[in-house]
Chains A and B, each alone.
Chain A
Amino acid sequence: MMEKLFETLKLAFITLKANRMRSLLTMLGVIIGVTSVILLISIGSGLKVYITSQLESIGSNILYIMPGEFDPGGEGGGIQGAGMAASRLTIAQGKQLKQRSTSIKRVMAYTENSATVSYKGKSKITQAAGVSYEYPDIRDEYPEIGNFFTLSQQEAAKKVVILGKSVAEKLFDESDPVGKKVTISENRFTVLGVLGPQGSIGSVDTDNQIFIPVTTALSTFDMENIHGFWLQANDQDSIEQAKIEAEKIMLRTLDDDDFSVIDTESLLSVVSQILGALTVALSGIAAISLIVGGIGIMNIMLVSITERTKEIGLRKALGATPKIILTQFLIESIVLSVGGGLTGITIGVLGTLLINQFFPAVITFWSILLAFFVSVMIGVIFGVVPAGKAAKLNPIQALRYE
């Protein structure tokens, strides 16, 4: 049995090698399909791993309050609405949160705006974060040079700024920026310090940020409402209580669809939900090319069987049963599709390693297994019709075929 299978495999290789160009072109459809499915799954998984690790590094005793409704796993399908609704959150609510709760240690109101920061003719477009003086303690990130702003500077809405590493490098090169005046949205700000390097998310530069007091941010960017709160619970065990307390306090001034209190875990579940759906959808589109590849295989098998009609007749005359002929051509189409599949897997893995230089991408074992299994199935599904046709050929007519 094994020997017979080996014989059939050998025969398939000889036949496919004899038509090298044709075999290669036939495989191309499967190669492209498998490669793109593997790459897309790798990118999806890489992104998921990256975002998960980022969120986990924030710490599990952190809660967020966002404007709008946030309903992970609910019928609305995740974060729809949250963050997109017009914010009704204010700094005053933050003060209430701090005063009226027992389990919340720190409250930080924040805003996010895009801004151009310039110094002596050099400028950089950057993310201006309005935060509170407690930002370094909550994120566990402290200035490398100089200091963060203080509570009193925050309350007085002073025009002070802490620069991200790459902003400082762009504007000041090697020189010390502390005490210098930079221009942000036509306002002059005094540089208090520079944050240490955070590293980058693939090609996204996380050091391209500046931090100003949230009070200053409201007046500078002419806003009435903040974009959200970061809450830090006393410890990990009090996170549930902190959530309940925060909701209760917020309801004093707002309706329950004006805000949502979210913990890291539900944020994670939403992120993986979205990325998962996106990966499946994109891979599904890529999988269409696999079907096209399968049709290509079927087409070439039909051509090949017509070309070899006489040979099939001869094999039957010499004692090949219909089952043997069926197996022979089925194996030929499986060799084509699996050959394409393995090539696609190789290119996909190499491509993932390459992409990983610029963007988080992770090779997952199950995607390789899936690709292999799918390519075997393509060989079977699209090979069975031509092979069945060959098996059914009448030996006399086949022998007479010219």
Chain B
Amino acid sequence: MKILQLSNVSKTYGTDSHSVTVLKKINLEIKKGDFIALMGPSGSGKSTLMHIAGCLDVPTSGKVIFENKDVSKLSEGELAQIRNKKIGFVFQSFNLIPRTTALDNVQLPLIYAGVDIEERQERSKKALELLGLKERITHFPNQLSGGEQQRTAIARALVNKPSIILADEPTGNLDSKTGKEIIKVFKKLNRDGNTIVLVTHDEKIAQIAKKIIKIYDGEIV
């Protein structure tokens, strides 16, 4: 089953005279159950590609079909709803909200989805348990280790049962041992049937994925 299909996707920044084309006619297909590592040096356009795949941005030209729906011309509000229901983000710097507990952080996507409080708490607790954070539910981000913070962020990405999880350098801020643990988590999630796209520049990490896509100078090579 196709989840995401990019056809002839280009992205250009700036005005006509000073424009920079970051992506050049990219074609990409992501199927359910895929585990893809997206590799490339900085400036290659892999971040932009991830933003477009994650519905954070729209292409200058080309089509983005997300679960049979063309999302390339949607408004910001409509894109936000797709991100909320279909996409789970994991960031390099965890991006947890410091003033709220692990549970409240994980709940956030469910609040925006309008899920009622009881179901929200139950699902969030389950997601935290799944990631081995049962004892950390009421902790604040600054009371958690780096690995625990990233696992909280993964729980947050999972909690609304997204069609695809996009992880942007998820081990970039972690030591190698903790990084390995996190990669194991992704592997397990993929085994459980989750679709994962991992952006990385680490060859070893990329090897864990089922498929590696290399991007260079705005093109898939």
Contacts and interface: CB of A to CB of B under 8 A. Distances in A.
Contact of B57 (A7, A319, A324, A396): A396
B51 interface: yes
B97 A311 contact: yes
Nearest to B160: A319
Interface in A1-30: 3-4, 7, 14-15, 18
Interface residues of A, number: 22
B212 interface: no
Q: Is the interface of A mostly helix, strand, loop or mixed?
A: helix
A315 B108 CA distance: 8
B147 to A, nearest CB: 20
A320 B77 CA distance: 8
Q: Which of B77, B99, B111, B156 has the most CB of A within 10 A?
A: B111
B83 A318 contact: yes
Interface in B153-211: 156, 160
B95 A399 contact: yes
A321 interface: yes
B170 to A, nearest CB: 14
Contacts, number: 60
A321 B77 contact: yes
A319 B56 contact: no
B167 to A, nearest CB: 13
Contacts of B100: 14
Contacts of A323: 77
B218 interface: no
A351 interface: no
B50 to A, nearest CB: 10
Contacts of A310: 95
B47 to A, nearest CB: 8
A388 to B, nearest CB: 13
Given A14-B100, A311-B97, A395 B56 contact: yes
A227 interface: no
Interface of B: 51, 54, 56-57, 76-77, 80-81, 83-85, 89, 91, 95, 97, 99-100, 108-109, 111-114, 116-117, 156, 160
Interface of A: 3-4, 7, 14-15, 18, 310-311, 314-324, 395-396, 399
Given A316-B83, A318-B83, 15 more contacts: A3-B116, A4-B114, A14-B99, A314-B91, A316-B56, A317-B54, A317-B89, A318-B89, A319-B81, A319-B160, A320-B80, A321-B77, A321-B112, A322-B80, A396-B51
